[in-house]
Structure 1
């Protein structure tokens, strides 16, 4: 529940008892519940009004998709995963990619050798 353990919930109850007192605590909890219910109802109404105002083309619209993290995951990363799953590379890996070591290139320098100097490159 909200990432709280039993120790945190117990501490919150003790703090609430100290702040509100045993007489006013049930009334405060009831008021907090009503406020939370009203906020949820207002958010749901706003979402429904937005969907109805956008028209039938956007019936599947979810405001959470506007969060940049969700947007990137949905539009960029899912496409990459689809491309990877549909490609031949996902079914068959090249033997060099599965080898525990990479073969040495033909023009690799030996220990202590100095690489060639190209004056035009610097």
Structure 2
């Protein structure tokens, strides 16, 4: 509950409690506070049990920590029922992006010479495609033909 309180803060709270309540009333105040915390915990546990019983048997493994989106997603990804870890490890985003960039820029990435001749050369055309040419019209530079069905 108080995991983020450091030793210096704890000492400061104790000193303030002694100064505010005095050494003779401090034990009774501590008992009252602990009793109140215990009652709040009991109330919250009974409310959780009531909710679980009202939801029915299909929600018997329901945890209230799952209502936190981060915890729910972490739990679902850790179960790995869909094989996401294998997919994640086999997929290299940088490599895929490099292949797409090379294909768009017309660079040959180990492909045959015929397939590289069909890709536009960004240095000769400035990255522009001539849309005025008709399909089947020969091109003096090695730009691909206009595909009317693709647009």
Structure-1-length-normalised TM-score: 0.67
| Higher alpha-carbon Rg | 2
Greater relative contact order structure (CA < 8 Å, 6+ sep): 2
Change (3 A) 1:35 1:22: same
Q: Distance in 2 between matches of 1:85 and 1:73?
A: 13
**1:45 aligned to 2:51?**
no
Q: Distance in 2 between matches of 1:66 and 1:49?
A: 17
How many residues are paired up? 110
Q: CA deviation at 1:73?
A: 3.3
Deviations 1:84-105 (A, max 9, x none): 3244x736x78x94xxxx6883
Hey, what does 2:32 align to over in structure 1? 31
Indicate the SS of the match to 1:61.
Answer: coil
Higher helix share: 1
Unaligned runs of 5+ in 2: 108-119, 132-151
Q: Distance in 2 between matches of 1:12 and 1:67?
A: 31
Q: Distance in 2 between matches of 1:78 and 1:18?
A: 49
Q: Distance in 2 between matches of 1:69 and 1:25?
A: 40
Q: Distance in 2 between matches of 1:19 and 1:118?
A: 80
Unaligned runs of 5+ in 1: none
Which 4+ residue blocks in structure 1 deviate beyond 4 angstroms?
77-82, 107-110, 117-120
Q: Distance in 2 between matches of 1:27 and 1:16?
A: 12
Change (3 A) 1:64 1:114: same
Hey, what does 1:66 align to over in structure 2? 67
Q: Distance in 2 between matches of 1:21 and 1:108?
A: 85
Q: CA deviation at 1:83?
A: 3.2
